[in-house]
Chains A and B, each alone.
Chain A
Amino acid sequence: MHETMIAQSLLATISTETAKQNAKPTCAKISCGILNAINDEILCFAFEAIAKGTACEGMKLEVEHKPMQGQCKNCNQVFDVELHRPQCPKCGSDQFDLLPDAPLVLEEIEFQTE
């Protein structure tokens, strides 16, 4: 359910940019680390619902999920951590530091050209 609040923040940011561009937004690209626990379908559904009647009505959201990253304590390799078998792909060690999760970022907005 936290997707609703994220959808509200997104809508506010996209609406500000839309007013600046004075054009119709068609798609917004978002990226986030998986620890943000964003469910795409719920986020898109919430966004669609609250965007009704605004300049953002009908636009699409695309969400890119970034994997957790770890840094190997043995060989310093930075790698994508697989939740079920977390280990360094280079040296095989399972001793690593989890790096901070990527924040939720509104990367870009696509606008229609008249």
Chain B
Amino acid sequence: MYKVNIGKKILSANEEYALKNSQFLTEHKKLCLNMISSPGSGKTTILTRTISELKDKIKIGVIEGDIQTDIDAERIRATEAPVVQINTNGACHLLAVQVNGALENLPVGDLDLIFIENVGNLVCPSAFELGETGKIAVLSVTEGDDKPAKYPAIFAKSKALLINKIDLLGAGVQVDFDIERVKADARKLNKGIELFLVSAKTGKGMTSWYEWLVKSVESL
């Protein structure tokens, strides 16, 4: 028996494309945010409201990742924002090569901010860099307040966490969700994470998210 030292990063094919995307975005001075969450947390609703309410301030384009269908792309298209749908046909995360192709099909020159809505999944997408400027985690209150403790990777890697569906909390409502626990657990792993408590449905709390987005675009 003999051993051969290799010392090679695996995922390297993905990382090569991630690097290309990152260079492209830096060159064109575009902010690109990769949104990651469980299915049904409200990513698309957050996007449609954000696009509509910020349309006079920043131009937003979207790369939509889904296993099947262009249901989400249709919802984005209704806001008149440019959108490219990627269907992964079973794969549980987007790859940098797919985003690379999608960037070619977006009118990048006309945009200030590109959102990537990743496949609904709290695990795998966090392990595949897409070349984005930053990751955004979304957690809806019905998923439970133990998620940052149970799925640490995405919360440790994200620039911001949106806690969504806060309109479901309050007197007379049957949702147990300790916001302070989520904040504490997320900040344990990621001191600098920005936290936004929002309801994309009612619009509550969205203003500070918008301010942060505009500031992030301006500071590029």
Contacts and interface: CB of A to CB of B under 8 A. Distances in A.
Given A36-B127, A83-B152, A6 B10 contact: yes
Contacts of B157: 35
B128 interface: yes
B6 A108 contact: yes
B13 A9 contact: yes
Interface string A70-89: 00000000000001101000
B170 to A, nearest CB: 30
Q: Chain B: interface secondary structure? A: mixed
21 contacts: A1-B91, A2-B124, A5-B95, A9-B11, A10-B10, A17-B6, A26-B1, A35-B126, A37-B153, A68-B156, A83-B149, A86-B189, A104-B10, A105-B7, A105-B8, A108-B4, A109-B6, A110-B3, A111-B2, A112-B1, A113-B2
The 10 closest A-B pairs by CB, nearest first: A2-B124, A35-B153, A104-B10, A1-B92, A106-B6, A103-B9, A9-B10, A108-B3, A108-B5, A106-B8
Interface of A: 1-2, 5-6, 9-10, 13, 17, 21, 26, 30, 34-38, 68, 83-84, 86, 94-98, 101, 103-113
